[in-house]
Amino acid sequence: MDDARPVDTAVIGAGYVGLTVGACLADLGHRVACVEKDRLKLAALRAGRVPFHEPGLPELVRAAREHGLLSLTDDLAAAAARAPLVFVAVGTPTRGDGTADLSALQDVVEDLSPVATPQHVVVVKSTVPVGTAEWVQGVMAHAGASVAANPEFLREGSAVADFLHPARVVIGTLHDGAARLLASVYRPMQCPILVTDPRTAEMIKYASNAFLATKISFINEVAAICERLGADAAVVAQGMGADPRIGPHFLRAGVGFGGSCLPKDLRALVACARVHDVRPLLLEAVQDVNEATRQRFIDTVESALGGLRGRTLAILGLTFKGGTSDLRESPALDIALRLLDGGAVIRAFDPQVGEEITGHLPQAIRCTDAYDAGEGSDAILLLSDCPEFLHLDWRRIASRVRGRLIIDGRGLPVREVATRAGFVYLGRGDRLPVSVP
């Protein structure tokens, strides 16, 4: 396959991964059909709306559609029949026992099988247990199609930039032709391309997310120790991160990791290890520390206020991280629920979440902005690192609160400005204040 030649491509699943892959490939000049079977999502996309917050993606989708390079359909067979390159980017949520639910992928493979030909390369982008691409290869064997595992490393909130400027691309396949085709598609990204076998590629994805989760739990445990010793956890992280063997990323102490990937992939890896008689001691500890970190935040709120019952708490940020509208496995949401259970009154605001707040936290008061949330509150809890919170007028908030206390679960750089506005600021790794004005 000629490097420069555009490839007709189908991307199955138009979630944040599938739609990002589709729109970016179209942006690179390939003709892409994105296949989505959820009627509501498809209707929104066709009407020009991306039904989740992903910076830059709506613009990319619009431009690609205007150039006639991106189409949106629910007809998987027709899209795949026209496209030699088929990416599968459907969800693999957690089942009750922690393992990955592959039913969406199995449905796709079943639909693909009758239209597959020897010219087809089926690329598994979804995060799947080790051995899944081999299984897909087995199903496709009758048609002579090739299969590759090609895990994604896109972060929500920066998925477009991550796709176009990846740190690396991993291609797991036993077929030279498939490796060459995929390498040609990714060549414009000018990053290292690692070609390996499918099992290793699948494991690289799980190991990467597990390592990121490990870094976060590590620093959260260090922050817990810092709190007792009077050391500044943020500066400890800075000092550690300056060592290139450690690196500065994913060392921000907070309320623990959440989202649709890290917790799920960790559970799947733990479950998989146990099935194969490996006791994943470290990974189990990473999960335990993550749970303890949420509880430790709640304990801090409780100790700082002398109890939760009847206290009014302003929660700023409910998504699993700033810059997204995603509430899946959000530590903030879980903490809010536990605070409500403890008898607190919750006034909640998130710039990216509207009415959905009421669905998840029916007992909370949904506020229109941070100032409204602060009204009459005994403490402000920063639970998501939304960029909008960097520009708040803390004096205005101070004039509306009952107690001038900020408990920051995200390490936002607002200590100085909030302190100047008269707040006591308590970050992760800080000791409890003596008294709150």
Q: Which residues are designated catalytic?
A: 261
- Which residues does 202 contact at the CB level (< 8 Å), separation at least 6? 128, 129, 130, 131, 132, 133, 149, 151, 172
Q: Match 């917050």 to its residue by tokens.
A: 53
Q: Which of 62, 65, 95, 155 binds ligand UGA (CB under 6 A)?
A: 155
Based on CB atoms, which residue is closest to ligand UGA, 198 or 259? Answer: 259
Smallest distance from the beta carbon of 43 to ligand UGA, in angstroms?
Answer: 25
Question: In 3-state terms, what secondary structure has residue 428?
Answer: coil
Smallest distance from the beta carbon of 151 to ligand UGA, in angstroms?
Answer: 8
CA 402 to chain centre: 35
Q: Which of 152, 221, 227, 350 binds ligand UGA (CB under 6 A)?
A: 152
In contact, 90 and 108? CB cutoff 8 Å: yes
In contact, 417 and 394? CB cutoff 8 Å: yes
Is residue 83 involved in binding ligand UGA (CB under 6 A)? no
Is residue 216 involved in binding ligand UGA (CB under 6 A)? yes
Is residue 153 involved in binding ligand UGA (CB under 6 A)? yes
Residue 53 to residue 165: CA distance in whole angstroms: 20
Judged by CB under 6 A, the stretch of 6-14, 167-175, 253-261, 386-394 that binds ligand UGA is 253-261
Based on CB atoms, which residue is closest to ligand UGA, 152 or 202? Answer: 152
Smallest distance from the beta carbon of 267 to ligand UGA, in angstroms?
Answer: 13
Residues numbered 85 to 144 that lie near ligand UGA (CB under 6 A) are 127
Is residue 394 involved in binding ligand UGA (CB under 6 A)? no
Please give the span between the terminal C-alpha atoms of the chain, in angstroms, as a whole number: 69
Q: Which of 371, 374, 383, 389 is nearest to 428 (CA)?
A: 383
Q: Which of 36, 156, 378, 408 binds ligand UGA (CB under 6 A)?
A: 156
Phi, psi of 131 (to 5 degrees): 105, -10
Based on CB atoms, which residue is closest to ligand UGA, 22 or 258? Answer: 258
Q: Which of 185, 234, 262, 304 binds ligand UGA (CB under 6 A)?
A: 262
Based on CB atoms, which residue is closest to ligand UGA, 36 or 334? Answer: 334
3-state secondary structure 179-209: HHHHHHHHHHHCCCEEEECHHHHHHHHHHHH
Residue 402 to residue 379: CA distance in whole angstroms: 8
x/- map, 309-328, ligand UGA, by CB under 6 A: -----------xx-------
In single-letter form, the type of residue at position 341 comes to D
Based on CB atoms, which residue is closest to ligand UGA, 80 or 316? Answer: 316
Is residue 209 involved in binding ligand UGA (CB under 6 A)? yes
Phi, psi of 384 (to 5 degrees): -140, 145
Judged by CB under 6 A, the stretch of 108-116, 257-265, 371-379, 399-407 that binds ligand UGA is 257-265
Judged by CB under 6 A, the stretch of 34-42, 147-155, 350-358, 362-370 that binds ligand UGA is 147-155
Smallest distance from the beta carbon of 262 to ligand UGA, in angstroms?
Answer: 5
CA 262 to chain centre: 7
In contact, 33 and 79? CB cutoff 8 Å: yes
| Count of residues in contact with ligand UGA, rule CB under 6 A | 21
Is residue 52 involved in binding ligand UGA (CB under 6 A)? no
Is residue 254 involved in binding ligand UGA (CB under 6 A)? yes
CA angle in degrees (0–180, nearest 5) for 69-54-251:
130
Is residue 409 involved in binding ligand UGA (CB under 6 A)? no
* Torsion sign (Cα): 377, 381, 387, 389: positive
By the criterion CB under 6 A, which residues form the site for ligand UGA? 127, 152-156, 209, 212, 216, 250-252, 254, 257-259, 261-262, 265, 320-321
